[in-house]
Amino acid sequence: MRRQRERGFTLIELLVVMTIIGLLSAAVMLALPDTGGSLRDEAERFAARAHAARDFAITGSRSVGIDVGPAAYAFQRRRGAEWQALAERPFRQEAWKKGTAVAFNGRGAGRIVFDSTGLAEPARLTLVRGKRQVTVDVAADGRIDVAS
């Protein structure tokens, strides 16, 4: 009597196929640009630099401002009655990445000022790229928060 051969896939064949599908999915995910992540990264970078400016204002006992515009942001220090651009490396002017729209307190531009004690006028900076939006909030006590 002849045995009828069973039809179907073995467990090893199924595991190999699942592994290949997983590897291909991972490769595709890594190759796709993550515009939302880079917008969040840009907001986090701004927040970190703003925090450094706050610390610089406290340690230097002078007000430090961040001029926020539609194309870039720049750091300035108060000397007497004038604002002077900061030339130190972490405080050089930085352009927003291409495609990023910026609103400062609902307007296109403005200035965040940290006084010598680290206090600031409350401000909200909104970064928009495509359908993604990230906000950076500066509180009166100088705290800086990033939210998606």
For residues 77 and 63, is the Cβ–Cβ distance under 8 A? yes
Q: Name 104's bridge partners.
A: 107, 125
Would you say the C-alpha torsion 8, 10, 15, 17 has a positive or negative sign?
A: negative
Q: What is the DSSP letter of 96?
A: P
CA distance 147 to 131: 15
| pLDDT of the residue at 146 | 92
pLDDT digits (tens, 9 = 90+) for 17-54: 888 888 888 777 777 665 545 888 899 999 999 999 99
Confidence label for 1 from pLDDT (cuts 50, 70 and 90): low
Hey, where are the domains in the chain? 35-147
Instruction: Read off the pTM.
Output: 0.73
Beta carbons of 145 and 96 less than 8 angstroms apart: no
Confidence of residue 14 (pLDDT cuts 50, 70, 90): confident
Give the tens place of pLDDT for each residue, 49-89. Answer: 999 999 999 998 899 999 999 989 999 998 888 888 888 88
Percent of the chain with pLDDT over 90: 37
Helices (H), the chain: 11-31, 35-60
Sheet hosting strand 144-147, strand order edge to edge: 101-104, 123-129, 132-138, 144-147
35-147: CATH superfamily: minor pseudopilin epsh domain (3.55.40.10)
Please determine, for residue 115, whether its predicted confidence score (pLDDT) is greater than 60.
yes
Round to whole Å and give the CA distance between 88 and 49.
Answer: 12
- Of 22, 41, 56, give the one whose Cα is nearest residue 100: 41
